Amino acid sequence: MKKVLLLFSMIFFSLVIFAQDVKITIKMENEPIKSILNEIEKKSNYTFVYSSTLIDTKRNISLVADNEKLETVVAKLCTIAGLNYSFEGKRVVLTQKLTSKEPAKLESKQVQIKGKVIDDENQPLAGAYVFFKNDINVCGITDLDGHFSFSADENSVKGDALVVKYIGMKGVEIPYIGTTDYIINLEQDTRLLENVIVTGYQTISKERSAGSFSLVKGEVVQDKANISGSLIQSLEGQAAGLNVNIKSNGDEEFLIRGLTSINSNKQPLIVVDGVAVSQSVLNNMISNNDISTVTFLKDATAASIWGSRAANGVIVITTKTGKDTNRKVDVSYNGSYTYKGMPDYSYQNMMDPQMFIKTAKETFDPVAWPWDQINSGILNNEKPQVYRHEKILYDFNRGLITESQMNTELAKLAALNNRNQYEDYFMQPAFGTTHNVSLTGGGSFYKYYFSLGYENTGSNSRSATNKFMINSRQEFNFTSWLKVDLGINLGMTTGSNQVMPTGGLSTIPYMMFADDNGNPLSHSDLLFMDSFRLTKQQAGDINLDFIPLKDAVGSYNKSLVNNSRVNAGVNIKIIKGLTFDGRYYYQRGNGKNESYLSRDTWAVRNETAFFTQPKASSTTLPTFYLPTKGGNYDVINSQSTDWTVRNQLSYENMFDNSKHQINALAGIELRASRDISTISRSKGYDPQLLTFQPYDEKLLAVTGITNPLLRNTTSGNNKLLTPSTQFGETEVRYLSLYSNVGYTFNNKYSINASVRVDQSNLFGTDKSVQFKPIWSTGFVWNLANENFMKEQNMFDRLMLRFSYGLAGNSPDPGKGGPYNVIRVITVGNTIFNNLGSGFEIEYPANTRLTWEQTRTINFGADFSILNNRVSGSLDVYNKYTTNLLANLDLASISGWSTTYANTGIMSNKGVELTVNSININNKDWKWSTNFSFSYNANKIVKLYDANTFFTIYKPNYEGFPANTLWAYKFAGLDDMGDPLTYNANGDLVKVSTAIDQNTKLGENKSIVNAGVMTPPFYGGLTNNIKYKDFELSFMFIYNLGHKMFNTSSNFSGRLTRNIDKDFDKRWRKIGDDTNIPSYAPNTALEIRRNTDFYFRGDINVLNASYVKLRDLSIAYSLPSNICNKLYTDKIKVRFQVTNLLTIAANKKGFDPEAHNLTNGSRYNKFGPSFSIGLTVNFK
């Protein structure tokens, strides 16, 4: 990676030195000193630094040591060889032993100090800063070939030491040992990696970029992703500015620096190894263990190189590459098992069987729901339907049974609870496992990284996915000027989903799935009354019974996704400073989803009944229009193709003894993305024989069937609505030109500028609208390099940054432009068969549409103090989005209700702080803390939405933050148990019409601004504690300052499903001390009031703030002697727990992550997840 740097900077960094207590065994007889040194280097991981002119490394000596400390061994060697030594970090500096002290010469003599600085892969490092420790003004900077040369006064530098600093590398100090050709080898410092920034187009030093970035190291992500299952999720709390909104229903939204768009794209762009990818490619192809770094590009300067797609920020991911291991193969294994368990059903707050039956009795209303209506099936497309508890109640009501009989029957139902059966038959605890083996190594010509990954995820709904991933990255250094890298990924994901009972899975507690002996039970009475079903079965010769446990037997739902991608890069150094970079990417995905519903499924038999005419008499046969044997087999084949071609020239050079440093790049990029899908549906399918049965599709789709056995529509003929074949294809293409220029003066002041123009085939738009350059500019002041700062010891690093730029979101392809956009009408238009395709205008011609533009100003400071013990950065930004894309109301006379238009202005202001500290650092103990804090204030400054027609269900209004939660002002219940609110005059009212919805916001007495649903404050706190071979790490994340609704849903009408327990606390009679509205047996009565005055009332607004102990991990590394015996370098065992602790600000016990903030519905809530993992690095 450093190889690509070709940039230079400096970093002041003091080494943390460990005791040299590595023990080695060596036995070498009469070997050259050089070989012995090499052997020690190999065994100890230490390197020797010496001047080849002063030490005769060809001299042969003998050295024997048996498990002795390195220092002892080195001392032994030096005594034999007549050398002096000193330990400098992981280096041993060898000098010639002076036999006698020579008198100091007093006359000044200029000597030339020269040498070469290389990295651990022997590649030259350009821009390394070399200076004398006692006089930093005697210094030089390496050129592009890594050479440095400068003169010094021999007398004044005698006994001094040379210090070499380089960005991303551990600095070294080498004793001055006279004029010689120093070869100085720098080691990569992973801790300092955060000082370089990978934008996807270039890797630059943080010191020279004005952009706002955050970096997360791969290993942090890996361990977390194995348990959370998602890379994006595992980034939570790691970087200031990133807000991950985790919902247990699987959706996750992530935003960088707040919301900049209402209707357009909101999510950041994801880039993997220099190429933009979709989230699905990321999920299906990239193994978490292969991730090297993740960089967030947050402001305009950071992101503008990505052009129009970067307005929401960019997440740049790099994967691991090969390294020069001197041809040794490094093999490592990483694996984990994760247990997620079952969701907590009690969290759903559903009624138990007794309460359900009690409620059924209380809400039974034969006046609102007369028996003859129930019995006639008028309520359900002529299919009469009655629930068991209702049947008993109607029987009593109709005088068929006595009250005591009724109570006995109801008590029988109340004694049943199907929840355990539900969980036993249809659910399972979620398990997951991951395994990853990687091989890495190479030499100076060829480097590689191969990995083989396997992930298995099982979900509660008994679906399972198996993911296999093969990743290879190779680098070829053909010559000193030609380098080629090649990445190939193959990914295969297979999935199988449980086919759920096709007649539905009832939540009514007494609907048992099997009897006490395990025999499956019928649920067909949930669909039709038995008498009706038997008549129809007889008339149509079709079994319409529905037995959930037998329903899906023989049916299956499987998916297979194969993905492959090739990512190749070419790097040619043309002439000094000028480089050509090419990147060529091709990705292809093939997916197949098969769903087979056998004849045993109720859905298939029911569909047959829709297209069957009953027999005219008992002696004739019914008329079948669909096959009566075999099942329904649906196949979806999909194919995606993405490719990118990028050609780029970069130039970098320095002039006037490094006083002026310049780097520039310019390139052109072509990108295309194409998705094709084919859906085919067969009926009468036999999966064994691969046969299907034909049917008259035109008749069923165009004309339909009169007088069917069962109706599927309220009016007209029964028609087949889904066609047997469907096709889809979309393709988007982009052409982009971009350039980026940076200039640094005297290593203190840098300016950056970048510009990019994107054009696409965004269809229906005008080219002139598309030609919107995205640009940015920035300035950095590297205070630490000022002379006046060199005297102080407080700051190791101090940088001030300023940037300003423009980013944009283009209107979605095909969503409008100067032309009308038409689409083919597919549904309901079969009758136009012979008249040609039908088209409808999807979007009207709209000349007023232009890009959403986001201007960002960013001020930032990066600092590092107390020998880098505390470091961090602070950013303040103001994002101002104009031409906000949203739906604008139109007069209906125009033919359109709304149009997609540039309708407003939104601002996001915020502060971000990251602090890293090393609290303890000694031989046995190491404790570091990482804290991130973000604050974002969003406001819709302007919304040219003429709609003053106010509804609390709309979250975005001018003058208020986006995602505002609006609530009714609740004013108690009246004497019918109906919730009240206030009208404009302050009178109590209970219907929506009484509220003046045309008054301005804020003047409306019935409506309250309850806060925002997006947390304004968020971040994380991570502690890593290491004691000897043990590591403990835990992270708290926090989301504060937002609001949500209490669980709330109105219930009225017939009791046909299980409902919330709170319904039992409802108002029943005058004097009841409750706020929960009374029950209304049907909608006709329900319209006398608006129950949302309570359910969406201010009384039900809760604080959604929470803090979670997101994860806790304990790891243990086996001692090195045990590892050695097992032929390994490292064995690490890890135990992780997520979500061990939640502190939520609401008193109701809601977990805001298992909650729909907008409407208060509950999602599944899980207990902590557990994971154990193992990492092994083989010798």
Partner 1 sequence: MKNRRIIYSLLLLTGLIVSTSGCTKFLDLKPKGKDVPRTFAHFDGMLNTTRMLQMIWSAPNPNGPGYNFSRGMDPFWIFMTDELIAPTPTEFDVFAKEQKEAFKFADNILIYTTEEMNTWSGLYSFIYTNNVIINNVPNLKDGSDSDRKALIAEAKVNRAHFHHLLAQTFGKPYRKASEETDLAVPLVTEASIGILDYKRATNKELYDYIINDLKESIPMLKEGAGTKLRVHRAAGYFVLGRILFDMGMYPEAQEALISCQTETAKAVIPIALFDYTDDSKSFSLWGYNPASPHAWRTGYFLPEDERNTEIINANYFTQNIIVYTGTQLANAVFVKDDYMAKFSANDRRRRFFADRRYTGTPIWGRFKRINKWQTPYGANLPDLYLMLAECYARTGNDTKARESVMLLRSKRIVGATEAAIPTSVNSKDLLIKFIVDERLRENMMTGMRWFDIRRLWNDPLFPEIKTNSVHTLGTETYTLTEKRLSLRIPPKDLRMCPSLVNND
**Contacts of partner 1 in 390-409 (CB under 8 A):** none
Closest contact distance (angstroms) between CB of 897 and partner 1 is 4
Out of 17, 411, 616, 841, name the contact with partner 1 by CB under 8 A: 841
* Contact between 18 and partner 1 per CB under 8 A: no
Q: CA-based diameter of the chain, in Å?
A: 129
For partner 1, which is the closer residue by CB, 134 or 730? Answer: 730
The token duo for 205 is 């030093």
Per rule CB under 8 A, is residue 725 in the interface with partner 1? no
Any contact of residue 616 with partner 1 (CB under 8 A)?
no
Nearest alpha carbon to residue 59 among 70, 72, 50? 50
How many Å apart are CA 491 and CA 498, to the nearest integer? 23
Is the CB of 429 or the CB of 728 nearer to partner 1?
728
Task: Tell the smallest beta-carbon distance from residue 276 to partner 1 (Å).
Answer: 18
Least separation, in Å, of the C-beta of 985 and partner 1?
18
- Residue whose CB is less far from partner 1, 757 or 861: 757
Closest CA to 906 of 880, 944, 885, 876: 880
Q: Which of 183, 645, 741, 1140 binds partner 1 (CB under 8 A)?
A: 645
Tell me the closest approach of the beta carbon of residue 899 to partner 1, in angstroms: 5
CA distance 196 to 847: 44
828 binds partner 1 (CB under 8 A): yes
**In the range 1010-1069, which residues lie near partner 1 by CB under 8 A?**
none
Query: Residue 1150, interface with partner 1 (CB under 8 A)?
Result: no
Any idea how long the chain is? 1179
Selected binder of partner 1 within 18, 445, 771, 839 (CB under 8 A) = 839
Q: What is the b/e burial string over 793-831, where b = at least 16 CB atoms within 10 angstroms of the residue's CB?
A: eeebbbbebbbbbbbbbbbebbbbbeeebeeeeeeeebe
Check binding of 739 to partner 1 (CB under 8 A).
no
Q: How far is the C-alpha of 481 from the C-alpha of 869, rounded, in Å?
A: 39
Which region, judged by CB under 8 A, interacts with partner 1, from 485-493, 700-708, 1101-1109, 1166-1174? 700-708
Enumerate residues 570-599 that contact partner 1 by CB under 8 A. Answer: 570, 572-575, 580, 582
Distance of alpha carbon 232 from alpha carbon 281, whole angstroms:
13
Q: Indicate the residue among 876 and 1085 with the shorter CB distance to partner 1.
A: 1085
Neighbours of 597 (CB within 10 A): 24
The yes or no reply on residue 17 touching partner 1 (CB under 8 A) is no
CB count in 10 Å sphere of residue 317: 25
- Window 747-806: residues binding partner 1 (CB under 8 A): 759-761, 763-764
Q: Is 373 in the site for partner 1 (CB under 8 A)?
A: yes
Among 443, 844, 1167, 1168, binds partner 1 (CB under 8 A): 844
Strand duo 1017-1027 + 1030-1040: pairing: antiparallel
Q: Which is nearer to partner 1, 175 or 814 (CB)?
A: 814
Q: How far apart are CA 897 and CA 916, in angstroms?
A: 53
Among 79, 84, 531, 948, binds partner 1 (CB under 8 A): 948
998-1032 CB burial, b ≥16 within 10 A, e <16:
ebeeeebbbbbbbbbbbbbebbbbbbbbbeeeebe
Residues 125 and 146: beta-carbon distance below 8 Å: yes
Give yes or no for a contact between 906 and 856, defined as CB atoms under 8 angstroms apart. Answer: no
Query: Using the rule CB under 8 A, is 72 a contact of partner 1?
Result: no
Q: Is 482 in the site for partner 1 (CB under 8 A)?
A: yes
Tokens of 603: 């859905």
Find the part of the chain contacting partner 1 (CB under 8 A) among 317-325, 487-495, 818-826, 854-862. 818-826
The structure tokens 């165009």 sit at 702
DSSP structural state of residue 539: H
Nearest to 1038 by CA among 935, 1114, 938, 1158: 935
| Interface stretch with partner 1, choices 340-348, 724-732, 1042-1050, 1091-1099 (CB under 8 A) | 724-732
Q: How far is the CB of 735 from partner 1 (least distance, A)?
A: 5
* 728 lies in the binding site for partner 1 (CB under 8 A): yes
Question: What residues between 189 and 228 interact with partner 1 by CB under 8 A?
Answer: none
4 vs 427, which CB is nearer to partner 1?
4
Residue 788 CB, shortest distance to partner 1, in Å, is 44
The two tokens of residue 912 are 């971000």
| Site for partner 1, residues 873 to 912, rule: CB under 8 A | 887, 889-900
Which of residues 633 and 900 has its CB atom nearest to partner 1 in the complex? 900
Binding residue (CB under 8 A) for partner 1 from 1082, 1120, 1156, 1177: 1082
Least distance CB 645 / partner 1 (angstroms): 6
Distance of CA 810 to the CA centre of its chain: 23
Least distance CB 203 / partner 1 (angstroms): 21
Q: Is 102 helix (H, G, I), strand (E, B) or coil?
A: coil
Under the binding rule (CB under 8 A), the answer on residue 445 touching partner 1 is no
Helix axes 388-397, 403-414, angle to 10 degrees: 170
CA nearest neighbour of 884 among 856, 903, 898, 909? 903
Under the criterion CB under 8 A, does residue 1081 sit at the interface with partner 1?
no
Sign, Cα dihedral of 944, 950, 955, 961: positive
Q: Residue 686 or residue 996: which is nearer to partner 1 going by CB?
A: 996
The burial of 922, by beta-carbon neighbours within 10 Å (0-12 exposed, 13-18 middle, 19 or more buried), is given as exposed
Q: How far is CA 625 from the centre of its chain?
A: 48
**Applying CB under 8 A, does 677 fall inside the site for partner 1?**
no
- Cβ-based nearer residue to partner 1, 37 or 705: 705
Residue 55 vs 700, nearer CB to partner 1: 700
C-alpha R_g of the chain:
36
- Are 248 and 1164 a contacting pair, CB within 8 Å? yes
- In the list 328, 629, 823, 1179, the residue contacting partner 1 (rule: CB under 8 A) is 823
Build a one-symbol-per-residue string for 460-479: x at contacts with partner 1 by CB under 8 A, - elsewhere: -------------------x
Q: How far is the CB of 1066 from partner 1 (least distance, A)?
A: 22
Non-local CB neighbours of 899 within 8 Å, separated by 6+ positions: 816, 843, 844, 846, 887, 888, 890
Q: With CB under 8 A as the rule, give the number of residues binding partner 1.
A: 93
| The two three-digit tokens of residue 631, written as one number | 């099942």
Contact characters 965-984, partner 1, x per CB under 8 A: --------------------
Q: Enumerate residues 796-815 that contact partner 1 by CB under 8 A.
A: 813-815
CB of 703 to partner 1, least distance (A): 7
